[in-house]
Amino acid sequence: MKTFPMFLQMAGRRVVIVGGGEQAAQKARLILKTEALVEIWAPTLDPELSGLVADGRMTHQTGPITPDTFLDTAMTFIASGCPGIDMALHSMAKEGGATVNVVDQPHLCDALTPSIVDRDPVVVAIGTEGTAPVLARQIKTKLEETLEPRLGDLAALAGRLRHAAAARLGPRARRDLWRWVFNDSPRQLFTGGSEREAAKLIKSAIETGEFGATKGGSVSLVGAGPGAKDLITLRGVQRLQEADVIYYDRLLDPEILELARRDAERIYVGKAPGCHSWPQEKITQTLVAAAKRGQRVVRLKCGDPGIFARSTEETEALKASGIAFEIVPGVTAACAAAASVGQSLTDRDNIDTLVLTTGHRSDGYRVPNPIKDIRPGTCVALYMAVGTAPQIVAQLATDHPGVRFDVQVVGKAQRNGEIVLNCALENLVTTLAAHEIKSEAILFVRWSNLQHQQDTPSQKQLAQA
């Protein structure tokens, strides 16, 4: 980011607007939403600004402008309507130590005014660092449609009741209370116009401590997808934002953790191939212990928790301990890899069977049975199988002599450094070695429909910003 978003305290602070026309009026409309003390400096004012001065909303100054004009200001807006005058005023304001916004001249701005969705005290600011104001307005329109008009009133009510909640409820119970307020009956009642009923319901919940919140701890096994931040599900994001503690694997996009609640504890448990920093038994025991302490736990796994992610050990332990849990699915690596190359994993005319299997078992690398039994019309997606590639080649050559198999290798699917390689089966080992692919790859093996097609290895490098 070139700019840092921040909400400034404005109550009782001085704001200077220089200019008396429409541009100045636009800034006045914006800043008068706050409790700032607004001064407008200009020889004359347009009717709108004159009306605001007459109503006592701001004061009008006509005296000479000097650097002292800008002393002790929270913000200064320069909007004379003349670029040359604006530049001179900018220099004067900076000499006076002001934080300056010059209309339509981003290079002279210390601060940029965002598009605002106002549900006071809920305020959403959208900025594009001055590059695309039309886009900012489009986003603002979408949010205006999404956030109900009375949401700010509900937030204000919650603010008035925070002290009462803090006096009667512990930290975990308070989080559950406010989650319930903004996700459940109180918000529905408020949105429907039943503000009084909503307020009574919230006050009763604070008094009794009963509001439908889940008692005790729980565990969510959340699939993070192939690693890209935007491929985790909405439910997965919600669980991250609710979590007290997150146990995560070797995530491929660290920004995924930024989706979590800021004060959630984050614990790295390794799970990189060949160098598990935590053994599975320790991870399982830790999940159980955290839930027994009453924490809301997320076990964040790459891909989908139900596909080669060792979730069974964890869910069986949770069941045995009577701990509530859920599995939140994610995009598995085979689907991500196929999407990267713009292909379907099945084809009505050519591929009617899809097999997901692994070349790495608990006792080491092994050729999986589906490879031995491969038939025409089958696509086998191999997870964690780079290390067993030589055995796979040898096995298929023995079991299916004279048959051509097409192999596609997708490394680091949907992530920076993604690589896509196509080769004949007999060239697989040399292809992997030539491109230094040792792990983090899906291998697709298909019975070729074009036995006489010439081998044409290709490489596709996708770089993501």
pLDDT digits (tens, 9 = 90+) for 32-55: 999 999 999 999 999 999 999 999
Choice among 86, 244, 249, 304 that is catalytic:
249
Sign of CA dihedral 331, 333, 336, 338: negative
Secondary structure element (H or E) that encloses residue 84, with its range: helix 83-95
With a pLDDT cut of 90, the percent of the chain lying above it is 64
pLDDT at 253: 73
Least confident interval from 94-103, 215-224, 280-289, 327-336: 215-224
pLDDT digits (tens, 9 = 90+) for 407-430: 999 999 998 889 999 999 999 999
Cβ partners under 8 Å of residue 287, min gap 6: 219, 247, 297, 299, 314, 317, 318
What six digits make up the tokens of 440? 């983090």
* Confidence band, pLDDT 50/70/90 cuts, at residue 214: low
Asked if residue 19 has pLDDT above 60, the reply is yes
pLDDT at 251: 60
pLDDT at 462: 33
Choice among 27, 86, 271, 412 that is catalytic:
271
Q: Work out the burial of residue 11: count CB atoms within 10 Å of its CB; fewer than 13 is exposed, 13-18 middle, 19 or more buried.
A: exposed
Residue 271 designated active-site = yes
Asked if residue 70 has pLDDT above 70, the reply is yes
pLDDT at 465: 34
Tell me the HSE value of 379 on the side-chain side, using a 13 A CA sphere: 20
Residue 203 designated active-site = no
Q: Give the pairing of strands 418-424 and 458-462.
A: antiparallel
pLDDT digits (tens, 9 = 90+) for 155-188: 999 999 999 999 999 988 898 899 899 988 899 8
**Is the Cβ–Cβ distance between 235 and 218 less than 8 Å?**
no
Mean pLDDT along residues 61-72: 95
Task: Count Cβ neighbours within 10 Å for each residue of 138-176 and write b for 16 or more, e otherwise.
Answer: ebbeeeeeeeeebbbbbbebbeebeeebeeebeeebebb
In whole angstroms, give the CA distance from residue 95 to residue 92. Answer: 5
Find tokens 């680091």 and name the residue: 412
pLDDT at 449: 61
User: How many CB atoms neighbour CB 131 within 10 A?
Assistant: 10
* Confidence band, pLDDT 50/70/90 cuts, at residue 192: confident
pLDDT averaged over the chain? 89
Q: Which of 56, 236, 183 lies closest to 191, judged by CA?
A: 183
pLDDT at 227: 79
* Confidence band, pLDDT 50/70/90 cuts, at residue 241: confident
Q: Which of 389, 371, 373, 370 lies closest to 441, judged by CA?
A: 389
* Three-state DSSP state, 403: coil
